[in-house]
Chain A
Amino acid sequence: MPPKSPNGEVRQLSSSSETTTPVVDLEREQMLEAIELSLGDAFVDSHLKPGDDLWIRVRTDSWLGSVQKLRDHHSFDYFGFLSAIDWMPSPYGRGEDDPTEPAPVRDTTIRSGYAGGDTRMQVFIRLVNSKTHLGITVKVDVADSSPSVESLITIFAGANWHERETHEMFGIDFVGHNDLRNMYLPVDFEGHPLRKDFPLLARMVKPWPGIVDVEPLPGGDEEDSAEVKASAQSKDSDAS
């Protein structure tokens, strides 16, 4: 319940998309046009949210060249981050399934986000122009069979650790990066944890407590714990 202002009415807030956001974003539109022109064939798709942000998608085979052009011709000289998205919805849902029941069948149709996509996984980076402070998110598809994309370390030295992390978490190979060691996980760890088909093991070993109200006590079976609970309740009522 929101607190009330002195005159007793709750102030209704207008949503930001109605009032504060300008309908046209000339600056970003011009930026997008220029980028489209200079990238040429490499440019695949774009998405512009006026007053908010700009997304573009480039072709996989010209990933390195496109980012180089963005840095050299469009002054996106600040490297924000590099990561990836697995667009396949998780077959495990939110990890709240009851392990005693057969697993429900979930829709795992791949649906991409802004600026589209043709593959299950996408690599994306965030670049910012350090003069105008306008940023851009650049996405690139990675093939399903052998997920690999060119490494950006020759353009942005800072991409080194980000690519290592992405390699470890998504199993995407970065061609030209010769040091893709694990950053976090043990050397012999199998699987890529941030892929959606990698189950969250904590939820597999022990079911999410949200499913059952009372956890059975350690050492006792279900009935015991129910009895304990009942006796505890009767004690409570006695005391009151």
Chain B
Amino acid sequence: MTMLGDRQQLSYIASQAADARLNLELETEGMTLNIGPQHPATHGTLRIIARLDGEQVVWAEPACGYMHRGYEKLTEVRTFPQVTTLVNRIDWLGSFANEVPFILAAEKLMGVEAPTRAQYIRTILFELSRIANVSLFLGDLGVQLGAITPVFLAFRDREYVLNLIESATGGRFHPNFDRIGGLKDDLPAGWIDETRAVMKKLRSFCDQIEDLLFGNEIFQSRTRGIGVIPRDVALQYGLSGANLRASGVDWDLRRDQTLPMVWDKADWKVWTHPDGDSFARCWVRLQETRESTKIVDQLLGAIPSGPVMAKVPKIIKVPEGEAWVSTENPLGEMGYYVVSRGDLGPFRVKIRSASFNNISITPWLLRGVYVPDIVTILASLYFILGDIDR
């Protein structure tokens, strides 16, 4: 029984009534939210169709194909050296790293190995493209979550790395520098000292980003516990790279397989994180960038002298066979399954790109999350559209 004079009781009843009325009025109908194809969070043209119940995602599905260029078909009418021009454009932020596994697969079929000097330069350029790629991710991450400053720092510091890549290869984004049997050219004079200076700058960039973003309370509350991928799910979806390591799988293709590259000549660490959430994925990438600068620094001091090109015939015919080579690219495992028939060009090339697998988990991962977290999760999975659609 309520006493009319009891103000506390009255306000309680009023609030209950208001809640009941609100619930009646706001009984939510499902709604379909279309994100993209043109959206800053999508690094290209990915479209996400999300079915919402209130603020929660009931069902979400990415729609790909806005950038499908049919590279697998195109490789069948190209010669082996021409294919690098195509694969450059798969993950356009870390182009040099795309060329390497294809060239290694062709070299494996031919039984050729690049000279040691070429292997060192390859590895250094590979890591530089990782730094260029991931530093943009670190800046972009801030923008996705509402912090504007990091992206300016990232674009400024990435430019130093792109300048290095340009001065060595001639191309900022599409180097097309790797050749079957070695490299197109040797390093320009003074490049090594310049690179050392840039690596120092990039390390301080990492420190800055760590202070600005990773220590930020808002950043932490928006990423911790969001989009958790358990270890076994990550494995059966074929996630790779930092996404896999953030789920606690200690696996890095640079360390765990033998390739004619020289990562084993440097002293570095593979970082993992047990949480599997968005924060873990971002954190692992930050640590990886630091490790990459260390690898570059160490390898710069150890480049042996010698030729950068092995003896290969002018017209390259690759012997019959099948080969699979994958490397730890900035976005994850990137591999080529090359089938040759002893011809000038490949018979079939299956391009296994990292983002395709990494993004195929989103229908599973986005179920039940809140709308703002969609952007966080997509940003933390980190994909490049060219790498999904190929």
Q: In the complex, are the beta carbons of B113 and A79 less than 8 A apart? A: no
In the complex, residue of chain A having the shortest beta-carbon distance to the beta carbon of B66:
A184
Least distance between B245 CB and chain A CB atoms (Å): 12
CB pair A200–B311 under 8 Å, yes or no, is no
**Chain A residues with Cβ under 8 A from B364's Cβ?**
157
Taking the closest CB of chain A, its distance from the CB of B65, in whole angstroms, is 4
Q: Quick check: A3 and B309 within 8 Å, CB to CB?
A: yes
A211 at the binding interface (Cβ < 8 Å): no
**Other-chain contact of B186, A3, A89, A183 (Cβ < 8 Å):** A3
Is there an interface contact between B324 and A137, defined as CB atoms closer than 8 Å? yes
A220 at the interface (CB under 8 A from B): no
* Interface residue from B114, B115, B237, B260 paired with A157 (Cβ < 8 Å): B237
Q: Does A16 contact B (CB under 8 A)?
A: yes
Partner of A126, one of B309, B324, B360: B324
* B311 A2 Cβ-Cβ under 8 A: yes
Decide yes or no: A193 and B73 within 8 Å by CB, A13-B310, A81-B357, A126-B337 being known contacts: yes
Per-position binary interface string of chain A over residues 196-215, scored 1 when its CB falls under 8 Å from any chain B CB and 0 otherwise: 00001001000010000000
CB atoms of B115 and A13 under 8 A apart: yes
B5 within 8 Å of A (CB atoms)? no
The answer, among B113, B238, B249, for a CB contact under 8 Å with A81, is: B238
B6 within 8 A of A: no
- Tally of A interface residues using CB under 8 Å: 56
Interchain CA distance A208-B79 in the complex, whole Å: 14
Q: Which residues of B contact A29 (CB under 8 A)?
A: none
Q: Which residue of B lies closest to A132 (CB)?
A: B256
- With A12-B311, A15-B111, A52-B108 known to touch, is A194 a contact of B72 (CB < 8 Å)? yes
Q: Which residues of B (5-42) have their CB < 8 Å from a CB of A?
A: none
Q: Which residues of A contact B306 (CB under 8 A)?
A: 5, 11
Q: List residues of chain A with CB within 8 A of the CB of B309.
A: 2-3
Interface string of A134-173 (1 = CB under 8 A from B): 0101000000000000000001111011100000010000
Chain B residue nearest to A93 in the complex (CB): B77
Asked if B221 is at the interface (CB within 8 A of a chain A CB), the reply is: no
Contact assessment for A79 and B236 in the assembled complex, using a CB-CB cutoff below 8 Å: yes
Q: Does B197 contact A (CB under 8 A)?
A: no
Q: Is the CB of B339 within 8 A of A135?
A: no
Known: A83-B337, A160-B360, A183-B64. A15 touches B348 (CB 8 A): no
Q: How far is the CB of A152 from chain B (nearest CB, A)?
A: 10
Residues of A within 8 Å of B256, CB to CB, are 133
Using Cβ atoms and an 8 Å threshold, which residues of chain A touch B238? 78-81, 156, 158
- The minimal Cβ–Cβ distance linking B307 to chain A, given in whole angstroms, is 5
A32 to chain B, nearest CB (A): 16
Q: List, in ascending order, chain A residues with CB within 8 A of B70's CB.
A: 193
Q: Is A43 an interface residue, CB under 8 A from the partner?
A: no
Q: Does A113 contact B (CB under 8 A)?
A: yes
Contact with A along B322-352 (1 / 0, CB 8 A): 1110100000010101010100110110101
Residue in chain A with minimal CB distance to B310: A13
Give the docked Cα–Cα distance between A134 and B357 (Å).
19
Q: Is the CB of A157 within 8 A of B350?
A: no
Given contacts A3-B307, A157-B364, contact A15 B73 (CB under 8 A): no
Q: Are A2 and B237 in contact (CB under 8 A)?
A: no
**What's the least CB distance linking A183 to chain B, in Å?**
5
Inter-chain CA distance A37–B361, complex, in Å, is 34
Residues 102-130 (chain B) with a chain A CB within 8 angstroms: 107-108, 110-115
CA of A16 to CA of B233, assembled, Å: 37
Query: Quick check: is B148 within 8 A (CB to CB) of the other chain?
Result: no
Task: State the CA gap A5–B304 with chains docked (Å).
Answer: 11
Bound Cα distance from A53 to B220, whole angstroms: 43
Looking at the assembled complex, report how far the CB atom of B254 sits from the nearest CB atom of chain A, in whole angstroms: 12
| A219 contacts B by Cβ under 8 Å | no
Q: Contacts A133-B256, A157-B236 known; A183 to B65 CB distance under 8 Å? A: yes
Complex alpha-carbon distance, A158 and B360, angstroms = 7
- Chain A contacts for B326, CB-based, 8 A: 80
For the complex formed, measure the closest distance between the CB of B349 and the CB atoms of chain A, giving whole angstroms. Answer: 10
Chain B 269-291 interface mask (CB, 8 Å, partner A; 1/0): 00000000000000000000000
Of the candidates A114, A135, A157, the one having the most CB atoms from chain B within 10 angstroms of its own CB is A157
A3 vs B73: C-alpha distance in the bound complex, in angstroms?
Answer: 35
In the complex, chain B residues 301-315 whose Cβ is within 8 Å of any chain A Cβ: 305-311
A23 within 8 A of B: no
Instruction: Mark interface residues in A86-100 (1 if CB within 8 Å of B CB, else 0).
Output: 100110001110000
Task: Determine the chain B residues whose CB is within 8 A of the CB of A90 once the complex forms.
Answer: 76
Q: Does A130 contact B (CB under 8 A)?
A: yes
Give residues in A with beta carbon < 8 Å to B. Answer: 2-6, 10-18, 20, 52-53, 55, 77-81, 83, 85-86, 89-90, 94-96, 113-114, 124, 126, 130, 133, 135, 137, 155-158, 160-162, 169, 182-185, 193-194, 200, 203, 208
* Sample of 11 further A-B pairs with CB below 8 A, known A17-B111, A90-B76: A3-B308, A16-B112, A94-B344, A94-B345, A114-B322, A126-B337, A137-B324, A157-B236, A161-B360, A184-B68, A194-B73
5 sampled A-B residue pairs with Cβ under 8 A = A3-B186, A10-B311, A89-B341, A133-B257, A156-B237
Please list the 10 inter-chain residue pairs (A to B) with the smallest Cβ-Cβ separation, ordered nearest first: A15-B111, A158-B237, A184-B65, A184-B68, A2-B309, A161-B360, A79-B238, A81-B352, A95-B77, A158-B238
